[in-house]
Amino acid sequence: MTASHLPTPTTPVRTRFAPSPTGYLHVGGARTALFSWAFARHFGGTFVLRIEDTDLERSTPEAVQAILDGMSWLNLQHDEGPYYQMKRMDRYREVLAKMLADSTAYHCYCSPEEVEAMRERQRAAGEKPRYDGTWRPEPGKTLPAIPADRKPVIRFKNPLDGEVTWNDVVKGTITISNRELDDLVIARPDGTPTYNFCVAVDDSDMQITHVIRGDDHVNNTPRQINILNALGAPLPFYGHVPMILGTDGQKLSKRRDAVSVMDYLDKGYLPEALLNYLARLGWSHGDDEVFSMEQMISWFDLTHLSSSAAQFNPEKLAWLNNHYIKAADNQRLAELVKVDLAKLGADLAIGPDLAAVIALLKERANTTVELAQSAMLFYREPAADVALVAQHITDAIKPALQEFTTACATVEWNKAAISATMKEVLAKHGLKMPQLAMPLRLLLTGQLQTPSIDAVIELFGREVVLSRLAKA
């Protein structure tokens, strides 16, 4: 079996997304969630959401909510969960007790200072710093006297010899010597379990069959495999996807890049565009660039996952977002655009139907924020620059303007009829289109750049057009 060839599952597929709630849902996490979700959906399996909140110092309710909000916005709906590790403490204590009874774990009374001194000696000797097994029980070994008033940690009794090997779905076969792994702390002095232990127990209890996660977890995998083996639990398939790099080729950073999923909502991206883009970061289906989530589900079976880091390209995302904006329902877009229009101080009461405005403008918009900025020309009183007015609304053009204004009172109110009337006025006065169009834009919108002027006039409606042109 290679990284690109995974046997067809013979048991029900169960995947999980297990973020730590120490901040927002970032794009790397969202991509991992997407891959796990799509794989479960492809095989008619179960997608589990698990919140790994044992880091009490860094985990916050706000971060939990941010993750749930991000998943909801992306429409990555979980089938089970969310499970919270902090609500599973009784289960962890039960497993810890069994492991102590089975001698697959033991109490260690070394103080943090003693462990650090141990490591310093090893560093000085040119050895890899690690726990030296002082309290590890072995046949014929006499353990030190238990120090008074010192609460122990619980350590996992890692195998001393042999190797841990797994066929990584992304990276191929990975082998780690057990001699590289020391006896991991699996419970702190206060009894709270540690990360790798909780993950192994959860994956076992939740019958997870496939673990898809970032390659920053590769070093955790042999530890979790050894714990699962000690528990007599079946091993899932593992796939470790490379990180996403920023535009500078470095790891995505909050300082340099928009990394929070919800930042993209605020910046005017559609969830389907972001999902489509994230899917293509580290996975492909032939040359397909644009596809629905339904299509991805039908294709996604963990083949064609790349073992190379993918670079985030904002221009490519903007291009995709433009594609999805053009295809989106105008009423849906209008509801999104309203939020940004409110921020810009728009007065929707003075302008035309917003969905109709969206239909006119969306072809050229990369984001809903850009749509709102473009739409503002319909929802504010025009205030043209005096110099521009003097330049474009000259005595020479005023007769044509007046004639067009008069015609607007009776012309059939549609784009074709308005366009025909403009051409008649231009021909009569011997003018070219810009000579009339620019003054009209200034008077109606206060700016020189707009979509086709006949379409703009139609949208404004007869009453508004006559009122504003009368001010010429």
Mean pLDDT of the chain, nearest integer: 94
From 359, 379, 399, the end of a domain falls on 379
Q: Which domain holds residue 290?
A: 1-105+157-327
302 and 373, same domain (yes or no): no
310 and 429, same domain (yes or no): no
Q: Return the CATH number at 247.
A: 3.40.50.620
Residue 256 has pLDDT above 70, yes or no: no
362 and 413, same domain (yes or no): no
Instruction: Return the pLDDT at 3.
Output: 46
278 and 257, same domain (yes or no): yes
308 and 175, same domain (yes or no): yes
Measured distance CA(311)–CA(132) in Å, rounded:
41
Residue 7 has pLDDT above 90, yes or no: no
Measured distance CA(99)–CA(158) in Å, rounded:
12
Average pLDDT of span 320-330: 98
pLDDT band at 471 (very low <50, low <70, confident <90, very high): confident
250 and 263, same domain (yes or no): yes
Average pLDDT of span 301-330: 95
| Annotated active-site residue in 98, 151, 254, 343 | 254
Asked about 343 being catalytic, the answer comes back as no
Asked if 83 and 52 count as a contact pair (C-beta separation under 8 A), the reply is: no
Average pLDDT of span 340-354: 95
Reported for 64-67, long-range contacts at CB under 8 A and 24+ positions apart, including other chains, are 64/21, 66/21, 66/23, 66/24, 66/25, 66/260, 66/262, 67/19, 67/21, 67/24, 67/25, 67/29
167 and 252, same domain (yes or no): yes
Residue 255 has pLDDT above 70, yes or no: no
Instruction: Return the pLDDT at 254.
Output: 58
Q: Return the CATH number at 408.
A: 1.10.10.350
Average pLDDT of span 106-125: 95
Measured distance CA(43)–CA(49) in Å, rounded:
17
The pair of three-digit structure tokens given for residue 72, joined into one six-digit string: 């909801």
The pair of three-digit structure tokens given for residue 1, joined into one six-digit string: 């079996």
363 and 373, same domain (yes or no): yes
28 and 170, same domain (yes or no): yes
Measured distance CA(129)–CA(123) in Å, rounded:
6
Average pLDDT of span 367-375: 97
For the CA atoms of the chain, what is the radius of gyration? Answer: 32
Instruction: Return the pLDDT at 251.
Output: 82
Say how many domains are in the chain: 4
The string of pLDDT tens digits covering residues 394-415 is 999 999 999 999 999 999 999 9
pLDDT band at 1 (very low <50, low <70, confident <90, very high): very low
Share of the chain above pLDDT 70, in %: 97
Phi, psi of 168, rounded to the nearest 5 degrees: -70, 130
The string of pLDDT tens digits covering residues 413-455 is 999 999 999 999 999 999 999 999 999 999 999 999 999 999 9
192 and 94, same domain (yes or no): yes
Instruction: Return the pLDDT at 2.
Output: 43
Residue 115 has pLDDT above 70, yes or no: yes
From 327, 346, 362, the end of a domain falls on 327
Measured distance CA(253)–CA(25) in Å, rounded:
13
Average pLDDT of span 166-178: 96
Phi, psi of 84, rounded to the nearest 5 degrees: -115, 125
233 and 142, same domain (yes or no): no
177 and 78, same domain (yes or no): yes
Instruction: Return the pLDDT at 253.
Output: 65
Residue with more model confidence, 20 or 472: 20
